Structure 1
């Protein structure tokens, strides 16, 4: 008996879903019906659960006060119970699953934030500290220490930070695990330089770092008041072993290649010269020195291949033992050890989770590479570290893998059939297939990660495809296998030749990077994408990669809208330093004009956000500013006069003539200009940006969010009829995006 196709579809689905759907509508009569049926058949609804989980996390980071834990947990329980009760009604079941995932993500954010809560200082202090060194990073200028504080003079235990990060000059020779004391100049972890920029304060909060700064004078080793606990002892031993291997690799190879080679193995990047970092960034291959998915896959793949090849040498073992699964277990163990030894950074841990899920699928006789496995890995990572969703590491790694899983099979050519090929023809065919695969995966990964790179780094590398195609074969075939062999030979003292072989390959990678980086336009600075542009482009990526049916072409709509927002950026007209040390104002020529003395890091952040490729020391930044000993005046667009005041003597004149006044001083009550940002206002809001309109000014700050105020004679766009305010009303803050701490300088003193 022949079964109709529509009936076969129903038989293949869970019986609980079959009672509430008119399956006769899914018999191929409509495109949407066919597409939905295929999505259910391919089990492509599950990958949307991590997406909804992530939406809940984003909602949590939108709150402007600490939410209660019982509310999201209670809503999650109610929706889960409702989903079980309504499991025979597909529409209701899907709705309850969506809501449950959203509330679960919100709950994860609340739990994580409460779990890592630790004190942080609120002002600059110079005090004596004492504690255990938890980690040491060797740098060209000295050492950077992570200290677990035991004592801090004049600071109560309730206000004492758990961890502080300080820099010390060269020659100290300190090691992890030692108990030290000394005088330190500490400041609160700095907030974002502009709303939407890199927020080191949030990054430090989730790492439980309550202060950053530098040591004043010498740091002394003393006897600890009590022995360290087991976690500190283990962390210190691992860090000391990493530092020893880092020095071994760097001295064996020498030069810049030695620093890069050491970073590839141990994750310690402090020995890489900054010009070398610039070369790698210009070629679009800086990701090779950040231990993440590429390194984890190559390291685990090397372990997998070695164990499987060794076990296959014996015919009895190869025939009777599950060689593939044994090799998968060995790869999982090797990847875990590699993660621990490389420092267990956040990006490395995410890559480990992805790798373990993939090899776990091999143990379960399931496809290792699938969107479902990637979804499970994303769900685990987000449940463990919800804040990771806001960072480029998570976004770029999962975006690239999702893009490759979904699109690379469509771009690969099918092998020709028929004629018997010679050995040479098979070799050429294999080489061309490998090269096509490398180009395809690199192209897809570059396209998938471009929106996140533009949003977080404000730069694109047009020749990154060429750089990766030339460099990655060396990294995959020589560098990473040599790294695994070198680590295995290190305990026997036979590792130096292996490191030297790896160093020769690294030098070629650097040579290729320098060649590609010297191309004109190798690095293109673009204006920071808006939240809307990133949201639409991200939705386009998800819609393109998750569906298995032609529903994926719906992605063209959000992607097109995202590109429209990206190509017409709404630039800020003014950037103001969080402490009032300086500002950048858009002058009559359309470019930013610098006044005051903000740090170089802050200036670079402002310029990159505006899509300006100039450096912080470019003399043209101050050409349009008219300055004297009391401050500066800049004529902005539409003829508005902006005054930056550094002395009280300037208030009388500028308060009469200027449209906007910015100062770190306290403005006198008689200064009644349309908009005044003085020291008190900046302390309330932090870094602030302004956009000038004909009738209103849009104010966005790190701490207070977005507000629209009317100029005199006009009305507020947000609330017509409201009187003009001297300071914006509180608004819900926009979540700032973070970068990996080691990707960019934080601007704190060394």
Structure 2
């Protein structure tokens, strides 16, 4: 420590010590008053000085290691979260202008390091806010606002077959009954009983029952309406009969391209499934084409219980393995020629082939959102090889996150983005730690070297699986309310098969397809997939292979996400700060309070906490909705379990159940019941409008639920109810049909809106 409180510089000529940016940061930090005055009986000044010196050393190292850049991606994501949390329809232009001005000011103030960094962070935050709002406006399209039975004419854009028969079809709409152009959704998704005669690109017509994309089934639950909006789907429903091809104007070029890709995917799916057979064929086809409709739910449950369901979703793992196979094969083949190996940059050539192969695989597999995100990450990382940069670095990961979020800001809200980037950040941090701890290889006999290699492979597989599991656990628990305690065993047992047998066979089979020599490759791939399924079933057979966890709020998730960022992004001892949000997030998640009443968004049914502390159902509750409620409550019962109706008293007018404190909750299906239940029930739920004189403490009738969506109540201090709603009061979003304001105000019920999360299914049935 120098007398002026600054850190000593390395000896030598100017510039031979820390880099210029580090010296600038040290001067900026030294001027911020971290050093103590040395005054006080209790050496408080010395303590402050030591803390300040430690912070300066840590921050200097972060700057020297160029670890501030990833925080720009964090700030950009923070702006996106603020945009989705903002009330009303804010304009993107003020944030965009201020973001550009802040970026320019940061460049102008680059000589003042601390100020420049603060301005860059503000610019990233503002630009993220603006990007989300611009994306919402760019996709603005009509959303159906009522249930409608009408004739639908449109072009088949994609087809998803189901193992149980039939499937789902996405139509690009030409006309819907008498709806005008400004009221007509651009796309609708229909459930059809039979796919016979249908092909992507066809112009078809049929009668369908359409309804608005369903909103969240509970406050904080999966909001399919929002996801459908960003997919361009403005209505969902079912065809009442067959969809019939009709003559008419042809599809445009973009639709023809999308239809050709989807048709090729469907054909290859049938080819692979037919060659292998059974569920091994269905899973193998999904691994290659991304079409998961042939996988039975029992198989999905086994894969989830084993913690390897991510294997059947084409995303990071598949893209990395596919790109890696292309990269390795190209480099190995080129290395066979000494002239090429010595005279050509074969590593860069292999990187280009890997990038091209990954891009082609992304397009062929349907270019789903998760696949596109993985492709961006791979292109950035393999592109770094072309410029002689380290491919696996947090800087590249942050750059890919910025590209993905600038293109699709809504991705930040979903589990796919959160889990994939969380896992990769953890794995890169682990790789960096291993590089620091790795010792130089010692010469030895070949057997010893092979043994060391195998040991490193086993430990690496276990270590990476453990890190990825820990990094993704907060997001998986938040969105799916489930933990797989044996995921480490499941991944360690199956991923070697997937990495060294299944995916190479998938690439080879695809390459052999044009020559008609692919069948034997699919059969070999089927053997490997069958092994994966058997290992998964073995892990799933363990007791408590799936543990449900009650839902917790976004506050706990944000704290846990911050803990992950602090544990992976810093390279200095600042990582220890992750313990603070980690402990706070775990405590907040553990203390999350469960609701006592959940009312369906249309008032058709409700879940009520009974005397035994478990939920019971009243009214007509769809299986999908009941499943959402039960899983969020940490309840593993099936929606058809008879105990879900135990303790409920019903007659022709409605049903009544009692809360643990004895108060009655009434669900009415007939207006005649209001006169009595408004007097004796604490809560009245109905899809009918309640009379103005209803004296119940909380009234959740048609008008109120139409305005605020699914609603939950929990008993608060003093016995009153605290209300949470899927919609904020007066909230307007492009994906939400306009609702009337509630006809009455609930008497003295605190209310708070809950933001949406996601679930594993992409829609309600």
TM bracket (short chain): over 0.9
Question: Equivalences for 1:90-239 in 2 at 5 Å?
Answer: 90-140=113-163, 141-224=165-248, 226-239=249-262
In the alignment, the residues of structure 1 paired with residue 113 and residue 637 of structure 2 have an alpha-carbon distance, to the nearest angstrom, of 56
Secondary structure, counterpart of 2:116 in structure 1: helix
* Matched residue, 1:716: none
* Matched residue, 1:738: 758
In the alignment, the residues of structure 2 paired with residue 299 and residue 187 of structure 1 have an alpha-carbon distance, to the nearest angstrom, of 40
Secondary structure, counterpart of 1:43 in structure 2: coil
Task: Please report how far the alpha carbon of residue 30 of structure 1 lies from its aligned counterpart in structure 2 after TM superposition.
Answer: 2.3
In the alignment, the residues of structure 1 paired with residue 380 and residue 687 of structure 2 have an alpha-carbon distance, to the nearest angstrom, of 53
* Matched residue, 1:433: 456
Q: Is the 8 A contact 2:10 2:17 kept in 1?
A: no
In the alignment, the residues of structure 2 paired with residue 107 and residue 418 of structure 1 have an alpha-carbon distance, to the nearest angstrom, of 51
* Matched residue, 1:676: 699
Which whole-Å deviations, capped at 9, do the CAs of 1:306-353 have from their partners, x for residues lacking one?
110111111111100000000000000000000000000000000000
Task: Please report how far the alpha carbon of residue 151 of structure 1 lies from its aligned counterpart in structure 2 after TM superposition.
Answer: 1.4
Change (3 A) 1:9 1:117: farther
Q: Is the 8 A contact 2:11 2:17 kept in 1?
A: no
Q: Mean alpha-carbon deviation: is it higher for 64-73 or for 203-212?
A: 64-73
In the alignment, the residues of structure 2 paired with residue 20 and residue 409 of structure 1 have an alpha-carbon distance, to the nearest angstrom, of 29
Q: Is the 8 A contact 1:19 1:88 kept in 2?
A: no
Change (3 A) 1:562 1:68: same
Q: Is the 8 A contact 2:203 2:250 kept in 1?
A: no
Which whole-Å deviations, capped at 9, do the CAs of 1:671-701 have from their partners, x for residues lacking one?
1222111111111111111112225321111
**Does 2:712 align with 1:689?**
yes
Change (3 A) 1:559 1:292: same
Change (3 A) 1:344 1:729: farther
Q: Is the 8 A contact 2:143 2:183 kept in 1?
A: yes
**Does 2:46 align with 1:13?**
no
Change (3 A) 1:316 1:249: same
In the alignment, the residues of structure 1 paired with residue 81 and residue 439 of structure 2 have an alpha-carbon distance, to the nearest angstrom, of 48
TM-score, normalization by structure 1:
0.93
* Matched residue, 1:277: 300
Q: Mean alpha-carbon deviation: is it higher for 184-193 or for 73-82?
A: 73-82
- Between the two proteins, the alignment pairs up a number of residues equal to 728
In the alignment, the residues of structure 1 paired with residue 147 and residue 730 of structure 2 have an alpha-carbon distance, to the nearest angstrom, of 28
Which whole-Å deviations, capped at 9, do the CAs of 1:485-542 have from their partners, x for residues lacking one?
0000000000000000000000000000001001110000000121111011000000
Q: Is the 8 A contact 1:64 1:733 kept in 2?
A: no
In the alignment, the residues of structure 1 paired with residue 156 and residue 439 of structure 2 have an alpha-carbon distance, to the nearest angstrom, of 61
TM-score, normalization by structure 2:
0.92
Change (3 A) 1:417 1:537: closer
In the alignment, the residues of structure 1 paired with residue 486 and residue 69 of structure 2 have an alpha-carbon distance, to the nearest angstrom, of 36
* Matched residue, 1:354: 377
Task: Please report how far the alpha carbon of residue 25 of structure 1 lies from its aligned counterpart in structure 2 after TM superposition.
Answer: 8.1
Q: Is the 8 A contact 1:699 1:728 kept in 2?
A: no
1:255 to 265, 269, 278: 278
* Matched residue, 1:323: 346
Task: Please report how far the alpha carbon of residue 7 of structure 1 lies from its aligned counterpart in structure 2 after TM superposition.
Answer: 7.4
In the alignment, the residues of structure 2 paired with residue 4 and residue 642 of structure 1 have an alpha-carbon distance, to the nearest angstrom, of 80
In the alignment, the residues of structure 1 paired with residue 337 and residue 498 of structure 2 have an alpha-carbon distance, to the nearest angstrom, of 31
* Matched residue, 1:380: 403
In the alignment, the residues of structure 1 paired with residue 748 and residue 764 of structure 2 have an alpha-carbon distance, to the nearest angstrom, of 28
Secondary structure, counterpart of 1:61 in structure 2: helix
In the alignment, the residues of structure 1 paired with residue 123 and residue 98 of structure 2 have an alpha-carbon distance, to the nearest angstrom, of 8
2:683 to 660, 670, 678: 660
**Does 2:723 align with 1:699?**
yes
* Matched residue, 1:715: none
Secondary structure, counterpart of 1:217 in structure 2: coil
Q: Is the 8 A contact 1:700 1:706 kept in 2?
A: no
Task: Please report how far the alpha carbon of residue 734 of structure 1 lies from its aligned counterpart in structure 2 after TM superposition.
Answer: 3.6
Change (3 A) 1:419 1:681: closer
2:105 to 72, 82, 91: 82
In the alignment, the residues of structure 2 paired with residue 733 and residue 266 of structure 1 have an alpha-carbon distance, to the nearest angstrom, of 39
Secondary structure, counterpart of 1:157 in structure 2: coil
Secondary structure, counterpart of 1:669 in structure 2: coil
Question: Equivalences for 1:348-497 in 2 at 5 Å?
Answer: 348-410=371-433, 420-497=443-520
* Matched residue, 1:544: 567
Q: Is the 8 A contact 2:194 2:242 kept in 1?
A: no
Task: Please report how far the alpha carbon of residue 88 of structure 1 lies from its aligned counterpart in structure 2 after TM superposition.
Answer: 2.1
**Does 2:317 align with 1:294?**
yes
Which whole-Å deviations, capped at 9, do the CAs of 1:211-255 have from their partners, x for residues lacking one?
11111112211112x222111111011111111111110001100
1:609 to 632, 637, 641: 632
Change (3 A) 1:9 1:652: farther
Q: Mean alpha-carbon deviation: is it higher for 691-700 or for 228-237?
A: 691-700
Task: Please report how far the alpha carbon of residue 727 of structure 1 lies from its aligned counterpart in structure 2 after TM superposition.
Answer: 6.4
Change (3 A) 1:364 1:300: same
Q: Is the 8 A contact 1:470 1:512 kept in 2?
A: yes
In the alignment, the residues of structure 2 paired with residue 346 and residue 243 of structure 1 have an alpha-carbon distance, to the nearest angstrom, of 19
* Matched residue, 2:613: 590
Change (3 A) 1:60 1:526: same
CA RMSD of aligned residues (A): 2.3
1:308 to 331, 336, 344: 331
1:526 to 535, 545, 549: 549
* Matched residue, 2:76: 53
In the alignment, the residues of structure 1 paired with residue 325 and residue 523 of structure 2 have an alpha-carbon distance, to the nearest angstrom, of 19
Task: Please report how far the alpha carbon of residue 293 of structure 1 lies from its aligned counterpart in structure 2 after TM superposition.
Answer: 0.6
Gaps of 5+ in 1: 708-723
1:341 to 352, 364, 373: 364
Question: Equivalences for 1:600-639 in 2 at 5 Å?
Answer: 600-639=623-662
In the alignment, the residues of structure 2 paired with residue 462 and residue 5 of structure 1 have an alpha-carbon distance, to the nearest angstrom, of 57
* Matched residue, 1:67: 90
Task: Please report how far the alpha carbon of residue 729 of structure 1 lies from its aligned counterpart in structure 2 after TM superposition.
Answer: 9.2
Question: Equivalences for 1:33-44 in 2 at 5 Å?
Answer: 33-44=56-67
In the alignment, the residues of structure 2 paired with residue 455 and residue 746 of structure 1 have an alpha-carbon distance, to the nearest angstrom, of 18
Change (3 A) 1:99 1:234: same
Q: Is the 8 A contact 1:73 1:107 kept in 2?
A: yes
In the alignment, the residues of structure 2 paired with residue 619 and residue 4 of structure 1 have an alpha-carbon distance, to the nearest angstrom, of 81
* Matched residue, 1:578: 601
In the alignment, the residues of structure 1 paired with residue 504 and residue 137 of structure 2 have an alpha-carbon distance, to the nearest angstrom, of 42
In the alignment, the residues of structure 1 paired with residue 14 and residue 543 of structure 2 have an alpha-carbon distance, to the nearest angstrom, of 58
Secondary structure, counterpart of 2:685 in structure 1: strand
In the alignment, the residues of structure 2 paired with residue 197 and residue 411 of structure 1 have an alpha-carbon distance, to the nearest angstrom, of 39
Which whole-Å deviations, capped at 9, do the CAs of 1:615-652 have from their partners, x for residues lacking one?
11111112121222211111213222211111122112
